[in-house]
Amino acid sequence: MIALLDYGAGNVRSVINALERLGETVQIVSNGDDILQADRLVFPGVGGFGSMMHNLREKNFIDPLTSYLRSGRPFFGICLGLQVLFDGSEEAPGVPGLGIIPGQVKRFTVDLAVPHIGWNGIKARQPSRIFNGLHGDEKFYFVHSYHVAPETDEWVLTATDYGYEFVSAIQKGNIIATQFHPEKSGKAGLALLANFLDTTREAIIPAAGPDPTRLAKRIIACLDVRTNNQGDLVVTKGDQYDVRENGEVRNLGKPVQLAGRYYEEGADEITFLNITAFRDFPLKDMPMLKVLELTSKNVFVPLTIGGGIRDYKDKDGRHWSALEVAAEYFRSGADKISIGSDAVLIVEDILKTGQAAGMNSIAQISRVYGNQAVVISIDPRRVYVKTPDAVNHHVIETTIPGPGGEHYCWYQCTIKGGREGREVDAVTLAKVCEQLGAGEILLNCIDRDGTNAGFDLELINAVKNAVSIPVIASSGAGNVAHFQEVFTRTEADAALAAGIFHRQEVSIGEVKEYLQNKVEIRPV
Ligand code: 1PR
């Protein structure tokens, strides 16, 4: 039995799944006594520093947690579960932390995308049992905008580089805490957690890994999911968003099985898009929640779910906020949600009125679950124009001339799965969404989707240059060289593909093998 501290602010499902996979029975603590009586305690902090401390105080957890930490019993903190041990954080000035380790939590001051999202390495600074079986060159999944800065090096367990070196794990007696997420770090992460659970394992220093460590470019498998004519939930794939062939929805496999296969092949993340959610109320769409639940039991890399995240009125007149819809997905095992159509409508409104109307879904969800949990999925298509000032949109000069020989185009955002074009361009959309609190952009391209013609590099460069949050390049991957191209000719942080993986033309392992020594990747 292992105790898990959950103050009810977010997704702890993946940590529970990882611990259960390692044979543990997890008890979620519901009061201070549960903390005081625990033999081993795991704390996956979620949300922001200020709201975490507020929640811990409200639940009267601060004193029992501090006594537990002083008792010398095993403790594993993850992400904010590391930051809580410090004196305070720049994220919430004036709010004290637990003060177990002297020092502050600071925001990244780097000329790189923040949050720091993705797979990065660790450099061991002292022996620990958690290193057993590691080779030293493994990468772990990070997602954070703040990092700890201890006053002394005494308890630094690992360091990682992102613009500069920061402390990525600490160890003080039986207290171990990591900034990265072992529960989302594939087999290496599970091995590290298993080492923590077995307190009899010897403390070792792993072989030295790369120095400096490098953030990997991510390879993401995307599963577009919908119900077919027979009523089964299937993975499908469109050609420029048209998923039907001879009147039938293309059926490329079962969502849970395919996701499991991509995890085994080395996918760095998996994205599910419920592509018909704009028609129906998604919380009635229980199969999708079930797909997430089942997938997250066996897949230990980040899971994103998109489709239908917006406000609803159900048939009984009950209002559901986008936040409530997202909460259901997080509870079922999602780590991030992706917003498509609703983001376009929100930005349109802001551009029209000059101000954000009330609390929109992007701001709401990112405030509760953190910016990193909100991805904006953009579905743009090219619109050619004769001159750069022909329209009031972000126009680019293109090397791919239009049907009338035009050398300029803009990227029109669409909603409802590409069915409806709107008067917003992709660059503006990305910029406004970043300001509203989005943590990442999933940049599709209808012109390239399913064509195998390669990514639209001009689109990716235009958007990437306009925002500082990570951008996932999507649509058009047709061979392994396209991945090298997108990572060397743009600053994309990740590349997503669907068709070539589903049709087994190329495996994720083959993509990674090809990229080895050309582009920084997480080895399979
Ligand atoms: O608008 O918030 O309900 O979200 C709906 C989501 O569903 C959006 O993210 C939208 O991109 C997606 N979607 C809607 N209709 C379709 C469709 O195909 N008919 N799929 C659709 C979008 C595009 C990519 C695809 C890449 C890579 N799929 O995600 O996976 O283009 O494909 P490729 O490698 O085969 O070229 P909302």
Residue-level pLDDT at 403 = 96
**Virtual CA dihedral for 376, 330, 216, 208, nearest 10 degrees?**
160
Q: Whose CA is nearest to atom 28 of ligand 1?
A: 224
Residue-level pLDDT at 45 = 80
Any atom of ligand 1 within 6 Å of the Cβ of 341? yes
Any atom of ligand 1 within 6 Å of the Cβ of 308? yes
Any atom of ligand 1 within 6 Å of the Cβ of 306? yes
How far, in Å, is the centroid of ligand 1 from the Cα of 185? 26
Helix axes 255-265, 286-298, angle to 10 degrees: 30
* Fold classification of 218-243+253-379+413-515 (topology level): TIM Barrel (3.20.20)
Question: Is 79 known to be catalytic?
Answer: yes
Q: Is the pTM of this model over 0.85?
A: yes
Any atom of ligand 1 within 6 Å of the Cβ of 47? no
Percentages helix, strand, coil for the chain, rounded to the nearest 5? Answer: 30, 25, 40
The stretches in the chain having pLDDT less than 70 are 9-11, 277-286, 357-358
Closest to 489 in 3D by CA, of 521, 466, 464 = 464
Question: Is 6 known to be catalytic?
Answer: no
Catalytic option among 161, 269, 342, 379: 379
CB distance 412 to 425 below 8 Å: yes
Any atom of ligand 1 within 6 Å of the Cβ of 495? no
State the first-to-last Cα distance of the chain, in angstroms, to the nearest integer: 32
Catalytic option among 138, 183, 449, 520: 183
**What does the alpha-carbon distance between residue 13 and residue 183 come to, in Å, rounded to a whole number?**
10
Closest to 221 in 3D by CA, of 500, 505, 476, 470 = 500
Residue-level pLDDT at 282 = 64
Q: Whose CA is nearest to atom 19 of ligand 1?
A: 241
Alpha helices by DSSP H, 266-340: 286-298, 322-331
Q: What is the CATH number of domain 2-197?
A: 3.40.50.880
Please tell me whether residue 387 adopts helix, strand or coil conformation. coil
Beta partners for residue 274, in sequence order: 225
Residue-level pLDDT at 357 = 63
**What does the alpha-carbon distance between residue 217 and residue 295 come to, in Å, rounded to a whole number?**
23
How far, in Å, is the centroid of ligand 1 from the Cα of 516? 28
Which pair of tokens denotes residue 127?
């022996």
Task: Kindly give the number of the ligand 1 atom that is closest to the alpha carbon of 341.
Answer: 1
Peptide bond into 212 cis (omega under 30): yes
Any atom of ligand 1 within 6 Å of the Cβ of 482? no
Beta partners for residue 242, in sequence order: 239
Question: Is 183 known to be catalytic?
Answer: yes
Q: Where are the domains of the chain?
A: 2-197, 218-243+253-379+413-515
Residue-level pLDDT at 46 = 76
Any atom of ligand 1 within 6 Å of the Cβ of 470? no
- The identity of residue 374, as a single letter, is V
